[in-house]
Structure 1
Amino acid sequence: MEDPEELAKAVSEAASRDGRRLAIVESLTGGLVCSDLAASPGSSEWFRGGVVAYDRTAKHGALGVPDGPVVSEPAVRTMAEKAADLLGADLTLAVSGAGGPEPQDDQPPGTVWFAITDRGDTEAWVEQTESDDPQDVLRHTRIRSLQALLKHLDG
């Protein structure tokens, strides 16, 4: 499934069944994933909210991301863990990446780091999109974020 609206609806149904409270912390996607979830049916029952920290200073200041690259595993792990605490969520997804067309933090365009904190356990992974076009990178990241949430809820 690759339609964001359908994925968000599936996440909503799974979260309603599961009972976990979800939160999102976004950089690269600038609130797209939060918007998808907030617009899905029943979201007021399980969606705790989101944080959009697009600027490097916001990530370091508001979310306590360690000094250094923000397109990195330590950055997304910290983002997910801090947002989970801040918003009182059981399942929190964080995303940060080099949206293109230029590199960021020595990462090529299309590099996207994800992290999920699920009841205190955090995992992180990196993906490289096939395109360095910013709109393609955003679409890929939006879809993969929703798919990751759905996998954790249905897993």
Structure 2
Amino acid sequence: MNDAIARLSDLARDDSLTIAVAESLTSGLLASRIGQGEGAAEWFCGALVAYRTEVKVDVLGVPEGTDPCSADCARQLARGVRSLLHADIAVSTTGVGGPDAEDGHPPGTVFVGWADTTGAGAELLQLDGDPDDVLRGTVEHALQRLVRLAEHAR
């Protein structure tokens, strides 16, 4: 277990926080890592892999026609999963893993979204490397975002 998972576990347990994730780009990799956290059954509500546009729209409330590789999409994915799973904080991952560009977005263009009781936001990442590097970098960044959200929830 890495430092971010250990810290997230401690914060969630100490402050009775619940956490959820929505994943497009990372297809469950983030949830798998979070599930390794100590006592995760107590604080990790779960995850939704929303790879297809229809799932993003119908289940998580992303407005039809929203670019799946955008801050707007990332924010709504996080809002939607937070609401759906009744969590205190949530993050989302969406973007282009590569190796090829998609819809005019170069490989490594990633958005990590987040939502908590105060609102929602998203951050653009430009990650280098092959698709595995992009996925690993996205997961690590999303974990760090969750830690910051949990720290601010104190």
Question: What's the TM-score, normalizing by structure 1?
Answer: 0.91
Q: In 1, distance between residues paired with 2:29 and 2:53?
A: 18
- Retained in 2: the 8 A contact 1:70–1:105? no
Aligned residues: 151
Pairwise CA distance, 1:120: 4.4
Residue 75 of structure 2 is matched in structure 1 by 77
Moved more, 9-18 or 87-96: 9-18
Q: In 1, distance between residues paired with 2:17 and 2:80?
A: 17
Query: What are the ranges of 5 or more consecutive residues in structure 2 without an aligned counterpart?
Result: none
- Retained in 2: the 8 A contact 1:59–1:79? yes
From 64, 86, 89, the counterpart of 2:87:
89
From 88, 96, 99, the counterpart of 1:98:
96
Q: Deviations over 1:114-133 (max 9, x none)?
A: 111011410111010022x1
Q: In 2, distance between residues paired with 1:105 and 1:115?
A: 20
Pairwise CA distance, 1:63: 1.7
- For residue 68 of structure 2, give the secondary structure of its aligned residue in structure 1: coil
Pairwise CA distance, 1:153: 1.4
Q: In 1, distance between residues paired with 2:143 and 2:121?
A: 16
Moved more, 103-112 or 25-34: 103-112
Q: In 2, distance between residues paired with 1:49 and 1:122?
A: 19
- Retained in 1: the 8 A contact 2:66–2:72? no
Q: Deviations over 1:71-100 (max 9, x none)?
A: 111111111111111000110101101000
- For residue 59 of structure 2, give the secondary structure of its aligned residue in structure 1: helix
- Correspondence list, 1:33-52, <5 A: 33-52=30-49
RMSD: 1.4
Residue 134 of structure 1 is matched in structure 2 by 131
From 8, 13, 22, the counterpart of 1:25:
22
Residue 113 of structure 1 is matched in structure 2 by 111
Amino acid aligned to 2:3: E
Question: Identity of aligned pairs, percent?
Answer: 36
Amino acid aligned to 2:7: A
Q: In 2, distance between residues paired with 1:11 and 1:22?
A: 10
* Runs of 4+ displaced beyond 6 Å: none
- For residue 104 of structure 1, give the secondary structure of its aligned residue in structure 2: coil
- Retained in 2: the 8 A contact 1:5–1:36? no
Question: What's the TM-score, normalizing by structure 2?
Answer: 0.91
Moved more, 13-22 or 138-147: 13-22
Q: Deviations over 1:119-153 (max 9, x none)?
A: 1410111010022x100000100110111111121
Q: In 1, distance between residues paired with 2:6 and 2:103?
A: 34
